[in-house]
Structure formats: structure tokens, C-alpha cells
Chains A and B, each alone.
Chain A
Amino acid sequence: MEQIFHNLVIGFSVAATPINLLFALIGCLLGTLIGVLPGIGPVATIAMLLPITFNLSPVGALIMLAGIYYGAQYGGSTTAILVNIPGESSSVVTCLDGYQMARQGRAGPALAVAALGSFFAGCVATVIIAVAAPPLAEVALKFGPSEYFSLMVFGLIAATVLAHGSLIKAIAMVVWGLLFGLVGTDVNSGVLRFTFGVPELSDGIGFVIVAMGMFGTTEIIANLDMKEHREIFTSKVKNLWPTKQDFKDSWGAVLRGTALGSCLGILPGGGALLASFGAYSLEKKVSRHPEKFGKGAIQGVAAPESANNAGAQTSFIPMLTLGIPSNAVMALMIGALMIQGIAPGPQVMNEKPELFWGLIASMWLGNLMLVILNLPLIGMWVKLLTVPYRYLFPSILVFMAIGVYSLSNNPFDVLIMGVFGVLGYICAKLECEPAPMILGFILGPLMEENLRRAMLLSRGDPTVFFTKPISAGFMIGSLILLVIVALPAIRKKREEVFVEE
């Protein structure tokens, strides 16, 4: 306990310096901005900014990028409530009841409950990270190559189980991503693999480029394929403060949402999106008036909004303690660490405590800023919603192109982004999820490296993954996950969760 307090003091002394406060503010502002705007998410934004973070301090860079991720969770709810479209994918379920509340003239309380619920969840999640991360990192320090390999298998399987749509297709996407990750120089032998004589490929395909193509350009093209029609809820937002009854109705939902979101965030493959879906279903189940859901129940706003913010923050735990990304945003965070020359993993906490605790402390400060940014300044964000998409997408493209080109001042990178944009478009049309592929892509080289080392140590005996206890645990966990999803009853449930809402 004292240790945690001591650590948090270090953290706040780093996070509260003017320059880092500024970075947190920039991150939160940007996050809210892209959260409010539909059609651009935290993945594309963080990918866009990655090259620029090279010029910043490591702490500053991480604080800013983290701010974008949880800031987007706040911004997304605004669009969901006022326009009935999710500004952010994790706000999909907020549309259901939030928009109904807005139609009943209660947009203000809906926005306030969303922001306050998120703030509460953010505070709790910050504490959870501070308490849970150090012991986890302690365990992770004992991991050998076989444990890491099994953990990655577990993470990838979990990511596919939690993805929606066909399980086999999701696993195929992971494998495909792993293969793309192998392009470049093989570390062990120095052989150039799958480079086809193109010198630019010898360092591998940049993760940022793939992410920008699969998430950024693909998103824009898909949006343009559909006709634009956006009805903005015009009534003025007034009476921001919820009534006593609203508070009474929503506090339980906020607590449950926070708890569920925090748990789902830690799981590999989890994060904000899954958390909000889960929380909404849970709330509907425990409610004594489930018929009110979808007709403006305040719990239907409070629970998913608390959950997505909690999930967004706790998904930092596997990234910070194990060096393993649980979703695409965390993969980008790892990219940001590597740009700064920091190898992600359990050692970061001991070697760079100011980075680790500074980031955690900044999350709490950032959440505080976000409440202020989102409640009193709500009018500004509402105005933003009236900007038509035809102005937005060329601007987004300009920033993406600058980001990719500045990676190495090489037009080839931009070409590769185009290639993955087209590939992402095809995948979207065939209902193949890009997120598992991105995870596979970033884990590919790591997995191969650990597989090789584990097999070398065990003299070619593959049973090593099942005889070492921790490793066996992960492997059995993966198997159980697969079996569970394959069971018809549960498969149906899983489809319901994703389809029904």
C-alpha cells in the first residue's frame, strides 16, 4: 500500500509538470474531437501521430496518445446521444437509449451521466492499474520463451473469440497477419524473406502503414460508398444537470459497468468496444424494467459509457506489464515505445518508473480534464457535428499521408498504405475482421522468435508448451476458449450479443 502511494507520488510529480499536462490536454482534446467525429477513430489518429511522437519525450508521447484513446470514449457518446450514430465504435450501444433520451428533451442529463459515469470509471480503472500492474509484472519477469509463446497464442485466440462474426475467418485473419509480419529480414539467419527484391521491404512492412491502410483509408472508402445522410438532433442542449432521480437510477449501472468494463479490458482482445456491449446486456438482464431499455432508460447510457472508459484504460495493463498488445490501439502504443527505443515488457516498470507511473497518473488528470472539456464546452463539440463529411475526408487523408510519408520520406510507404487500403476494403466487404489481423501482424516476429528459442531450449520437443505449468495454463485456456465458442448454445449467445444490439 505504501509502495503504491509512493509510486503514485512519483507519477503525479511527472504527470503534473506543465509540459506533460499540456500533452495530456492535447491528447484529450484530440481524442474528444475524433470521438465526436464519426468516420475517424483512435486507431487511425494514433497511427497518424506516431511519427511525430519521435520528437517528443517518451512520457509526453505516451501521455498524449493514451489521452486520445480514452478521450475518444468521452467524445463518442456525444455523437451517439445527439445524432444517433456512434462517433466511436464503442458507443454503438449508447445510441439506443441515449438518442431516445435526447428525443424526450433529456439530452443534457444523458450527456452528463455519460461524462460523469466515464469519469468515475476512469478513476477506478486508474487505481486498478496502479494496484494490479506491479504484481503482474513481477510474474511476467519469470516468463521464458515457452511461456511467452503460449501467452501470445492465448491472446490471439482470445482476440478472435471476442471478435464478432465467423470464428474461423477471424483465426485465418490472425494467421494472415502473422505471415505479413514475417516480411523482411529474418533475425536469426539474415535471410530476406518475401521482399521480392524490393529494398524498402527488407526492414519489414511498417505497422503504422498497415494500420493506416486497413483502418484509415478503408474507413473513408466505406463511408463514401454509402450515401451520406446525417440527421442532427437540433434541439438545444439545456438542463445539463441530471435530477436526483437520475442519479438514483444510474449509480448502480455505473458501478456494474465499471466493474465489468475493467475485467473485460484486461483480457487480451478486449478493450472499450467489448466492454460497452457486455455492460449493456448485463444492465438489461439485472433491470427490473427491461422493457424501458431502448426507450430512453438512463441506465442504458450510464452502464456502457462507464464500461467503455474503464475497458479503454485497463487494456493498458497487459501492454504495460507483459509488453503484449490486447488490441490495435495498444499495438500502436507498443509502436510508440519502440520508436523511443524502449523495449516493451515487464522490465519497463522497474527501469522506467517515471514513465510507467507518470502515464497512470496522467490518466486520472486526463479524465478530470475530459469532464471539463465535455460538459461545459459541449456546445463547441455539437457545432463540430455540423461539418459535412465532404470537408472531413480530404483533411483526414492529408494528415494520414503526411504521417505515413514522414516515417522515412519514402513514397513506397504510401504505396503500401494504398495496397493495404484496398485489401482492407476487400476484407470489409467479405466480412473478415481487420483487428485480429493487425494483432497477428504485430505479434508475428515476436512469436517466431519465442517459438524458436523455446524449441532450441527443449531440443525440439514441442511438449514443452504443455509441461511447464504457466505455459500449460495458457494453452489449456486457449483450448477451453475455442471449445466454448464452438459449442452451439454459446455460439448462439455470442451472435446475439453482437447482432441484437
Chain B
Amino acid sequence: MKIKSQKDFWSGIMFIGSGLFFALWAVEFYQMGTAVRMGPAYFPTVLGGLLVVLGAIVLLQSLAMEPEGDQAVHTPFNIVDLAIALGIYAILIFLSVKIGFSSEWAILGATVIVALLTVMFRPDAKPLVLITAATIFYGYLMKPLGLVIATAALVFISAAGGHEFKWKEVTILFVILILFSVFVFVKGLTLPFPIWPEYFS
């Protein structure tokens, strides 16, 4: 058996996996009901089953059909690495919550660790991981540290995910963006964001 289309093969796996998950979870935990009075499990089970069938067709096609065009998955890193990284991320969050950290700090910490691991071992995945990490930092730093520091984290970390990083340019960009955020969004549209860390105000 040879995989003729990498793209379809992995898509098939992805659909089957998530279809199974939704269907089994629904059957296990929610009531099925009848066709007349559908319970909460009915629709998800049907859809999950449908997704499994569709995924299986895609999977079989990837093995049988002669592919047209380029069917390799082009990521700058191995797609299995991505799964490993996501696994590490989930386990880190789970463990730190178990130890007794609040979920906010657990997520922040896990994001820092995965971002550092990426930069060290898989620099090609920087755009994906750093852009995602930057937005997560923004969200989780806003409440404790305020808009200025959250925006700084977002701008500098995401810029580091790009091709060129020049401190002077990024700093100027940050100053413009933070002024715009404060005057338009906080002062102008009165969004209730803290500007500085709680500690100071």
C-alpha cells in the first residue's frame, strides 16, 4: 500500500478522527432521544458518522486514485512535529493546572515553553508558532499587565516570526500602534482595557 496523495491521506485521517471523537463523545455522554424528539446526542452522532464516512472515502482515494498535480504536503517543517508540539502544549497546561497554577498562568507558561522550543529546534516553524503565541500572550497579559505591555509582546514576538527583524523599525511600529490603540480604542471607543499594569494604578 502506497500513499499516493499525502494531502488526501492526512485530510482523511483528520476527518475520521474528529468524526469519531464527536460521535463517540455524544453517544457516551448525551441522550440520544428518538427521531420525533431528538435528544442532544442525535444530530452530532449523525454528523460525526457522516464525517467518518466522508473521511474514509478521502482516505481510500488517497491510496487508490492516481493523483493529479503536486500532492505532497508542503510545510516548512514536518507535520508530525506539529502534532508533537500540540501534544506537549496540552500536557504542559494540564500538568501545571494539576500542580495548582491558575489556568491563565498555565497557558502563558506553556506558550512560552513551546515558543522557546520552536525557536531552538524548529526555526522553520517560527511564523506559525510565534504568530499564534504572540496573540495568546496579548490575550493573557492584558488583564494583569495592561494594554501597553500586551501590545509590546504582540508586536515584538510576531515581528520576530517574520523574515526581517530590525529593533528600530519594530519599536517605531510599536509606538505608532500603541498610540493608535490608546487614543482610538480606549479613549475614543471606550473599550474597558487597562492601559498600565494593575500594580501601578
Q: List the interface of chain A (C-beta within 8 A of B).
A: 52, 55, 166, 168-169, 171-172, 175-176, 178-179, 182, 186, 188-189, 191, 193-194, 217, 220-221, 224-225, 227-228, 389-391, 393-395, 397-398, 400-402, 404-406, 409, 411-415, 417-418, 421-422, 425-426, 429-432, 448, 451-452, 455-456, 459-460, 462
Q: How far is the CB of B60 from chain A (nearest CB, A)?
A: 10
- Write the chain B residue with the least CB distance to A223: B127
Q: How far is the CB of A1 from chain B (nearest CB, A)?
A: 43
Judge whether B11 and A432 touch: CB under 8 Å: yes
- Write the chain B residue with the least CB distance to A389: B162
Q: How far is the CB of A408 from chain B (nearest CB, A)?
A: 11
Contacts of B196 in A (CB 8 A): none
Contacts of A193 in B (CB 8 A): 26, 30, 40, 44
Excluding A176-B51, A418-B133, 13 further A-B contacts by CB distance (< 8 Å) are A166-B8, A172-B58, A179-B48, A191-B30, A220-B131, A227-B163, A390-B163, A391-B169, A401-B138, A404-B135, A406-B191, A430-B11, A455-B38
Contact of B14 among A397, A417, A430 (CB under 8 A): A430
Give the docked Cα–Cα distance between A395 and B180 (Å). Answer: 10
The bracket for how many chain B residues form the interface is: 35 or more
Give the docked Cα–Cα distance between A188 and B31 (Å). Answer: 12
Contact of B47 among A169, A179, A389, A402 (CB under 8 A): A179
Interface string of B59-93 (1 = CB under 8 A from A): 00100000000000111100100100010000000
Contacts of A188 in B (CB 8 A): 38, 40
Contact of A402 among B18, B143, B170, B181 (CB under 8 A): B181
Q: How far is the CB of B163 from chain A (nearest CB, A)?
A: 6
Give the docked Cα–Cα distance between A426 and B78 (Å). Answer: 12
Q: How far is the CB of B197 from chain A (nearest CB, A)?
A: 15
Contacts of A397 in B (CB 8 A): 131, 134-135, 154-155, 158
Q: What's the count of A-B pairs with C-beta under 8 Å?
A: 187
Q: Answer whether residue B128 sits at the interface, using C-beta atoms and an 8 A cutoff.
A: yes
Contacts of B158 in A (CB 8 A): 393-394, 397
Judge whether B128 and A425 touch: CB under 8 Å: yes
Interface string of B162-189 (1 = CB under 8 A from A): 1110000110010001000100010001
Give the docked Cα–Cα distance between A31 and B151 (Å). Answer: 25
Contacts of A422 in B (CB 8 A): 82, 86, 128, 132
- Contact residues of B: prevailing secondary structure: helix
Judge whether B177 and A414 touch: CB under 8 Å: no
Give the docked Cα–Cα distance between A172 and B61 (Å). Answer: 14
Give the docked Cα–Cα distance between A381 and B170 (Å). Answer: 23
Judge whether A169 and B43 touch: CB under 8 Å: no
Judge whether A390 and B14 touch: CB under 8 Å: no
Judge whether B51 and A421 touch: CB under 8 Å: no
Query: Quick one: given A55-B189, A169-B11, A225-B76, are A179 and B51 in contact (CB under 8 Å)?
Result: yes
Judge whether B177 and A411 touch: CB under 8 Å: no
Query: Quick one: given A394-B177, A414-B138, A430-B10, are A462 and B35 in contact (CB under 8 Å)?
Result: yes
Task: Please indicate which of the listed interface residues A179, A456, A462 has the most CB atoms of chain B within 10 Å of its own CB.
Answer: A179
Judge whether B135 and A417 touch: CB under 8 Å: yes
Q: How far is the CB of A177 from chain B (nearest CB, A)?
A: 10
Please list the 8 inter-chain residue pairs (A to B) with the smallest Cβ-Cβ separation, ordered nearest first.
A414-B139, A411-B139, A224-B127, A460-B36, A460-B35, A172-B54, A186-B40, A191-B40
Judge whether B181 and A398 touch: CB under 8 Å: yes
- Write the chain B residue with the least CB distance to A187: B40
Judge whether A175 and B50 touch: CB under 8 Å: yes
24 contacts between A and B (CB under 8 A): A168-B61, A169-B11, A172-B54, A175-B47, A179-B47, A179-B48, A182-B43, A191-B31, A217-B132, A220-B127, A221-B127, A389-B162, A395-B173, A398-B151, A411-B104, A411-B107, A414-B136, A414-B139, A415-B139, A415-B140, A417-B135, A418-B136, A422-B132, A430-B10
Contact of A411 among B48, B140, B154 (CB under 8 A): B140
Query: Quick one: given A172-B54, A188-B40, A394-B154, are A421 and B132 in contact (CB under 8 Å)?
Result: yes
Judge whether A411 and B131 touch: CB under 8 Å: no
- Write the chain B residue with the least CB distance to A401: B138
Q: How far is the CB of A183 from chain B (nearest CB, A)?
A: 10
Contact of B154 among A398, A431, A459 (CB under 8 A): A398
